[in-house]
Structure 1
């Protein structure tokens, strides 16, 4: 049996594209996503996340108003720039990504994962637009941002935007659920129940991002930013953010 390779038809997800996407967003892909909680650790400490219901509400907020919204729009812009062959636009998008990090730990979360993602993709699949973009970012004394990097890779592999972005945001939500399962703690079944309850929020975030231009980008999740800042000085910590 053969696996379909890239089809150069971004409207159709091939089996090869699906396998590539699943590999990139798998917990086994070495970007260290398991070490970040995006402020969830302090939100649990402060009694703001105590159950599956409160966790669902928190992640819905991240997707609709916070980093989920920001990252999704950046992802779309990067994907489209690759399809247009516009490498200069990719640099501008990378710079834009730097400006949309509310705290030092969120910046670390984005750039550490972005750098690890680029490094692994280069070692496994070789050089391409993703690596050239990352090199240009470094030449400007900047680090590659994770959502932009994954968006570039998805476009290069001919993975359709909607499929790629849905998988990316689902993985973001799953990582936050996983951190809360360990911190609250929640049972595994409650964790899966929470993730299942976020299907509509992920789908809505995808639709919104695909219709949002970079010039209209904005966020309104001050409580998430606050928990991230408080996490920087939290006495006992399991996570890096």
Structure 2
């Protein structure tokens, strides 16, 4: 048996875990991530994002200044809490997410996607029974998307770091598609942007995993301003 065959044969659980993370990270997951631009569409309308370079830089900044310091950090802390059944910790993390959404639009997004994750687990039947039951019994009303995603990821036989990379890459795919539609850009430009984001994701994940509770933050004023403007933007493709 070759080394590659030996490794494959000895780690079926890790392979299954990786496949589950890829499933959760897929834009095809019916939680509605594709329907939001997270302020990007308003930035396009304001002229701050107008081409591939400015769109890529906007998303890279959002990854490091927003996602890494807030949602990724929450997922990093919520996965072990789900695995140990620490409901007090889970409830505290969920409350933090809900309390720190900077606009009404962001709050509605995390609530809607959290509900959709719960419904996804319910509709899977036996395949999602464990996730659905844990979310139901946690007393989260409403459940935020990062905490719901962490619950699903906690059932995968994979590391927290790999789960965060999947979460971040799924976000990146959705946001690149939002840029392609709203700027607009071609598919080749979108792939170049996704490649740039992929290079940044490991750094963002490392930052998120190193944060203590007191270091988490949701403070992205320019992004919040444009999310608020998007709520009443006259013409828009994405949900508000």
Q: TM-score, normalised by structure 1?
A: 0.88
Tell me how far 1:5 sits from its aligned partner: 9.2
**Within 5 Å, which residues of 2 pair with 1:158-177?**
158-177=157-176
Corresponding residue of 1:65: 65
Question: In structure 2, the residue corresponding to 1:227 is in which secondary structure?
Answer: helix
* Paired residues of 2:111 and 2:145 also in contact (CA < 8 A): yes
Q: CA distance change for structure 1 residues 92 and 219 in 2, over 3 Å: closer, same or farther?
A: closer
Tell me how far 1:131 sits from its aligned partner: 3.4
* Paired residues of 2:134 and 2:151 also in contact (CA < 8 A): no
Query: 1:41-89 CA distances to partner (integer Å, 9 max, x unpaired)?
Result: 1111111111111111111111111144310011011012123331221
Corresponding residue of 2:190: 191
Question: In structure 2, the residue corresponding to 1:66 is in which secondary structure?
Answer: helix
**2: CA distance between counterparts of 1:66 and 1:196?**
19
* Paired residues of 1:72 and 1:206 also in contact (CA < 8 A): yes
What do you get for the CA RMSD once the two structures are aligned? 2.1
Corresponding residue of 1:104: 104
| Structure 2: unaligned runs, 5 residues or longer | 1-7
Tell me how far 1:3 sits from its aligned partner: 10
**1: CA distance between counterparts of 2:174 and 2:134?**
29
Tell me how far 1:184 sits from its aligned partner: 0.8
Question: In structure 2, the residue corresponding to 1:127 is in which secondary structure?
Answer: helix
* Paired residues of 2:102 and 2:218 also in contact (CA < 8 A): no
Tell me how far 1:98 sits from its aligned partner: 0.7
Corresponding residue of 2:54: 54
Tell me how far 1:240 sits from its aligned partner: 1.0
Corresponding pairs, count: 231
| Structure 1: unaligned runs, 5 residues or longer | 8-13
* Paired residues of 1:65 and 1:221 also in contact (CA < 8 A): yes
Candidates 128, 132, 135, aligned match of 2:134: 132
Query: 1:109-138 CA distances to partner (integer Å, 9 max, x unpaired)?
Result: 111111111211232124336533344445
State whether structure 2 residue 117 is matched by structure 1 residue 117.
yes
Corresponding residue of 1:206: 205
Please state which structure has a larger fraction of its residues in helix. Answer: 2
